[in-house]
Homo-oligomer: A and B are copies of this chain.
Amino acid sequence: MYNKRSFALGSKRSVIREIFEYSKARKAEIGENKVFDFSLGNPSVSPPKEVTEAIIDLVENTEPTALHGYTSAQGDAGVRQKIADSIKRRFGVDMPASLIYMTCGAAASLTITLKALFDKGDECIIFAPFFTEYTVFIENAEGVPVISMPEPETFQIDISDFESRITERTKAVIINSPNNPSGVVYTEATVKRVCQILEKKSREIGHAIYLIADEPYRELVYGNVFVPYIMNYYKNSIVCYSYSKALSLPGERIGYIAVSPQAECADEVYLAVCGAGRSLGYVCAPSLFQQVAARCVDTRVNISAYAENRDLIYNGLKRLGFECVKPDGAFYLFVKSPDGDAFSFYERAKKHELLIVPCDDFGVTGYVRIAYCVSKETITGSLAGFEKVAKEYGLI
């Protein structure tokens, strides 16, 4: 009747989406402010005023059939030029607009990139903990996800584990820093070691291994933490960017793919990206928000609220005896279940109307994710519930 894999993916939705749907129902039932929903990475900070101003100005002062019309499949030429210029300014990479491909957000950037590169059975290394949908996107490209386990305390990449995962079938490696769900930013030393190993292994196995940086959280870092730009460390690299978090526009689906100008056969890789986008039904990225992104290319949300939330929830939970890594970026806190069982932690918290995400599907067992992109009141209001949970676990 229908495709079994599609049905399975549709009926067993991502755990995050499931909780998000439960949250909406529960809020309708007992009241919006009685449910403490930490499930979804839906930004709580408003888009910068420049975004709203750009939308209104564009709608009021641009010829509407041009504004809302098709752009080239790879994106509007002027938009791509502005983004290329910004990459050059910010990271010193000599990026041509001809290697920028506008997308419907980070998920599209990744599915298109993987479909562009992968043949059936090619392997893609991902670092636990990882965003759960990676395995879905890799499998859509007929690839095989290969999971590398992290350093246990810091959640940095375990270099020797990583090296041991590389085989002749390794086509690509995805890094996601700042990381969802741990909030960890990979250090420059880590990135350099990863790149050295990739260069050595590429030579050994006789073909390129691509390094794909999934960077929706690049602009969300706290306290001057440095996030290495991979094109400056490795030639066969591709950046998958999204404005979802940088401009608080996750529903608008706008981002891009940038193929490094240093990549071997960069132009051909880019054409494969164009072909993959076509095959997946992406005609062009939303035209109005392409223009908005171009106008706001160096604008970003005010992250001070996230920084404050991070301190509140991190300090609050540490005080109650929970174990977690202090996040340097993104808006997630990765918390160890006191009894090592992520699902029972999730269930116990839920009884106190705290919605947190059990993360076994993220490749590391025994942790939950708390998305602190919420109002300050949600965090302060939740601490009484967390205190009860801590007591139930005998932490205090």
- Contact B10–A271 (Cβ < 8 Å): yes
Q: Known: A2-B268, A251-B286, A286-B252. Is A107-B281 also a contact (CB below 8 A)?
A: yes
CA distance A70 to B249 in the complex (A): 8
CA distance A284 to B65 in the complex (A): 24
- Contact B6–A40 (Cβ < 8 Å): no
Per-residue contact bits, chain A 302-343, to B (CB 8 Å; 1 contact, 0 not): 000000000000000000000000000000000000000000
Within the oligomer, what is the number of copies of this chain?
2
- Contact B65–A282 (Cβ < 8 Å): no
Tell which of A43-51, A160-168, A191-199, A226-234 binds the partner: A43-51
In chain A, residues 30-45, which have Cβ atoms closer than 8 Å to a Cβ of chain B?
40, 42-45
Pick from A69, A107, A112 the residue with the most CB of B within 10 Å.
Answer: A69
Q: Known: A1-B269, A46-B64, A281-B137. Is A275-B69 also a contact (CB below 8 A)?
A: no
User: Is A147's CB within 8 Å of the partner chain B?
Assistant: no
In chain A, residues 270-315, which have Cβ atoms closer than 8 Å to a Cβ of chain B?
270-276, 278-290
- Contact B283–A107 (Cβ < 8 Å): yes
- Contact A110–B281 (Cβ < 8 Å): yes
Tell which of A54-62, A84-92, A182-190, A354-362 binds the partner: A54-62
- Contact A252–B1 (Cβ < 8 Å): no
CA distance A73 to B251 in the complex (A): 10
User: Is A11's CB within 8 Å of the partner chain B?
Assistant: yes
Interface size range of chain A in the complex: 35 or more
User: Is A94's CB within 8 Å of the partner chain B?
Assistant: no
User: Is A26's CB within 8 Å of the partner chain B?
Assistant: no
- Contact A251–B68 (Cβ < 8 Å): yes
Q: Known: A272-B2, A281-B107. Is A60-B68 also a contact (CB below 8 A)?
A: no
CA distance A272 to B14 in the complex (A): 14
- Contact B72–A6 (Cβ < 8 Å): no
Q: Known: A68-B47, A273-B10, A278-B10. Is A3-B116 also a contact (CB below 8 A)?
A: yes
Closest to A116 in B: B6
Chain B residue contacts of A264, Cβ below 8 A: 1
Residues of A within 8 A of B (CB): 1-11, 13-14, 17, 20-21, 40, 42-47, 51-52, 55-56, 59-60, 64-65, 67-73, 104-105, 107-108, 110-112, 115-119, 133, 136-137, 139-141, 207-208, 248-253, 264-265, 268-276, 278-290
Known: A7-B268, A252-B286. 14 other contacts (CB 8 A): A3-B118, A6-B116, A6-B273, A7-B116, A10-B278, A47-B64, A47-B65, A64-B248, A133-B278, A250-B283, A251-B290, A252-B287, A253-B253, A288-B288
A-B contact pairs, 27 of them (CB 8 A): A1-B264, A1-B268, A2-B117, A2-B268, A2-B269, A10-B270, A10-B278, A11-B275, A13-B73, A13-B278, A45-B65, A51-B64, A56-B59, A64-B248, A68-B250, A69-B250, A70-B250, A104-B281, A104-B283, A108-B282, A111-B280, A136-B278, A137-B279, A250-B283, A252-B288, A253-B284, A288-B288
